[in-house]
A = this chain, B = another copy of it.
Amino acid sequence: MPTRIPQEERTRQMRRRLLEATVDSLVELGWSGTTTTVVSQRAGVSRGAQLHHFPTKHDLVVAAVEFITERRRSQMDAVLADLPVEGRTRAVLEALSAQFISPVFFAALELWVAARTDESLRAEVDDLERRIGRETHAHAVTLLGIDESRGRNRQLVQATLDLVRGLGLAATLSDDSMRRTAILDAWAITLDHELER
């Protein structure tokens, strides 16, 4: 008797293929090049099935960014398990920064910039970004192993996240990894001086 994949599992796999194809399309073709037609072709999913799960481009793109964010979160948990004792701050900065020089960030950036001039997309993306922002902040605090109620710790973590976001934006155009390494080296020393432990 052949093994049957239950319907629920097949649906789950199809949704995942659609979301992965959406992310790939955003990364390669940008916002305007990403159409529901392109995505269904890339995912190998029929138009009908796609429209059933994600009726509009907006639904598809917001779900895709949410999906990759979930995946990013589990990657961060893996980082946490592997942090060195020596040079912990620098290792945390590397892990945080890596999130913003990845295809995941490039896809999110396309969504973000499109939302600025698209009222209907904006509320949804704003909400998603706030949620991601809070989670990333909490993660950074855990990774750094600090109490954020002390001194300027909270603001320094926020500044760190805005810094790596700025570095991510710079990395979209050209590979500036040498510059980034020097900046993160200096930032790690600064945090070790300024964070209250």
A190 in contact with B156 given A163-B166, A165-B169, A183-B162 (CB within 8 Å): yes
Of A25-33, A41-49, A138-146, the segment with at least 4 beta carbons within 8 Å of chain B is A25-33
Cβ of A126 under 8 Å from chain B? yes
State the interface size on chain A (CB cutoff 8 A): 50
User: Please, could you name 14 A-B residue pairs with CB atoms under 8 Å apart, sorted by A?
Assistant: A28-B117, A30-B117, A113-B113, A116-B172, A133-B170, A155-B185, A156-B186, A159-B163, A162-B183, A163-B163, A166-B168, A190-B194, A193-B193, A193-B194
**Closest CB-CB distance, A67 to chain B, in whole Å?**
20
Cβ of A129 under 8 Å from chain B? yes
**Residue contact B113 to A30, C-beta cutoff 8 Å:** yes
**Residue contact A183 to B166, C-beta cutoff 8 Å:** no
Cβ of A109 under 8 Å from chain B? yes
Cβ of A58 under 8 Å from chain B? no
